């Protein structure tokens, strides 16, 4: 198990070109991704996430109009919008939703890599203009914060592992 996870961590890369005409991402695969997301740690186990699965081509195209850095969605098979539900946070867990949703997002990316799917994490929160635009496009109530949109598809590009180990970012205290 751990060997598989390490391989997914090393193999994961942002994929921005997908096969738009061949195999598609199945609902079963999407459920696997969401199960991985929901296994993420969260403050006080608040699990403040909600997910919107977008498979409608027309809606994917609309996202590219409100978020300029999501053009990969034109060939993606689907997208998952990871949202935070502020009503699910209270007390000590309040305010931790970016970490909680970030952990859930990374789990989706790693599970997708394991399934041979390509993904690209596109940020929404905390950019106010993007948050407002997604709220409006998906008619979200005030308690739902769109955190990021993940493009998902069958990879049509290959990317090698780069490796980013930077010793100068580490302070050792022995």
Ligand X SMILES: Cc1cc2nc3c(=O)[nH]c(=O)nc-3n(C[C@H](O)[C@H](O)[C@H](O)COP(=O)(O)O)c2cc1C
Binding site for ligand X (CB under 6 A): 13-14, 16, 69, 120-123
For the CB of residue 24, give the shortest distance to ligand X in the complex, in Å: 21
Q: Helix 97-114 crosses helix 2-11 at what angle (to 10 degrees)?
A: 100
Closest-by-Cβ residue to ligand X is 123
Helix (H, G, I), strand (E, B) or coil at 102: helix
For ligand X, give the closer residue by CB, 25 or 151.
151
For ligand X, give the closer residue by CB, 50 or 130.
130
Give how far Cα 44 sits from Cα of 2, 84, 156, 161, Å: 25, 15, 40, 35
For ligand X, give the closer residue by CB, 90 or 132.
132
Encoded tokens for 54: 């977008």
For the CB of residue 150, give the shortest distance to ligand X in the complex, in Å: 10
How do the residues of the chain divide into helix, strand and coil, expressed in percent and rounded to 5? 45, 20, 35
For ligand X, give the closer residue by CB, 44 or 137.
137
For the CB of residue 26, give the shortest distance to ligand X in the complex, in Å: 24
Sequence-ordered list of residues with C-beta below 8 angstroms from that of 91, at least 6 positions apart, any chain:
44
For the CB of residue 122, give the shortest distance to ligand X in the complex, in Å: 4
């Amino acid at each position: 198990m751990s060997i598989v996870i390490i391989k997914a961590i090393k193999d994961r890369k942002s994929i921005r070109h997908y096969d738009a005409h061949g195999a598609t991402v199945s609902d079963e695969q999407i459920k696997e991704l969401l199960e991985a997301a929901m296994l993420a740690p969260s403050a006080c186990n608040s699990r403040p996430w909600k997910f919107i699965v977008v498979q409608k081509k027309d809606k994917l195209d609309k996202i590219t109009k409100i978020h300029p850095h999501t053009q990969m969605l034109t060939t993606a098979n689907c997208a998952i919008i990871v949202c935070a539900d502020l009503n699910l946070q209270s007390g000590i867990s309040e305010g931790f939703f970016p970490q909680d949703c970030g952990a859930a997002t990374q789990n989706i990316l790693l599970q997708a890599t394991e399934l041979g799917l390509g993904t690209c994490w596109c940020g929404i929160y905390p950019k106010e203009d993007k948050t407002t635009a997604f709220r409006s496009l998906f008619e979200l109530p005030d308690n739902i914060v769109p955190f990021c949109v993940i493009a998902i598809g069958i990879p049509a590009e290959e990317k090698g592992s780069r490796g980013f180990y930077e010793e100068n970012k580490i302070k050792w205290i022995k």
